[in-house]
Amino acid sequence: MFNINQIPYKTKILSVVFLFLSSLAFGQTKMKLYFNNGDIKEGAYEIKLSSIIYSKPKKNKGKKIKKERYYVRRDIRKFDIYKCGDTIHYRHIDTKKYATSKEIKKKLAQLIYSGNKLEIYYVGEGLYQAGTFGSYYEKYVKKKGEKIAYNMGYIYGAGQRGIKKRVRDYFTDCPDLINIVNENKIKKNDLLEIVKFYEGNCN
């Protein structure tokens, strides 16, 4: 997991986006699964589609081959992927689009940053536009000790609530942060800098 204070400023976003996108394409690789019932399993697994993780046994001569094991992803609370010497953390989180939203959606998210007060998650989404299908990620922030993560990035579509409005609604406990974002001293789409300010100056 990345700590934003340990990454050079110009490479922060590129680094986390690269890992986020590349990890979705992983084949069978080493993972650690944490199940809702408290079980923990570690081994070589593969993410299939959007709902199943499975373990495919290796073929060893002279040894009995175990059957493939399938796990429905809704039964898994979180999982870690070990790749290229790094650990990539995925969580199933409850999300809301706005602080005032009533609808709660469960999403698979990559934990990008975990500080003393806040966590940042990236959620992969699909986008169909002008006859082509693409992908992008949405940014969510969650206060430590709370259950809901809120969208704090750009939201596609007409009539969506702006980022500055969402900052005002969510960070009501930090007027200084709201003022700085309103005055463009921190760019509204720079969630990493917003989080850094909150960690060091708020609450």
Q: pLDDT tens digit string along 150-190?
A: 998 766 544 456 889 999 999 999 999 999 999 999 998 89
Number of Cβ within 10 Å of residue 127's Cβ equals 11
β-strands 69-72, 52-55 pairing: antiparallel
Q: What is the pLDDT of residues 97-130, one digit of tens each?
A: 888 888 999 888 999 999 999 999 998 876 656 6
Residue 151 to residue 5: CA distance in whole angstroms: 22
> Considering the entire predicted model, what is its pTM?
0.75
Question: Higher confidence at residue 67 or residue 172?
Answer: 172
3-class SS at 166? helix
pLDDT at 50 over 60: no
Query: Which candidate, 76, 70, 102, places its Cα nearest to that of 89?
Result: 76
Phi then psi dihedrals of residue 15, to 5 deg: -65, -50
Check: CB of residue 170 under 8 Å from CB of residue 99.
Answer: yes
Mean pLDDT taken over the chain:
78
CA dihedral 171, 176, 179, 180 (to 10 degrees): -100
| Residue with more model confidence, 58 or 112 | 112
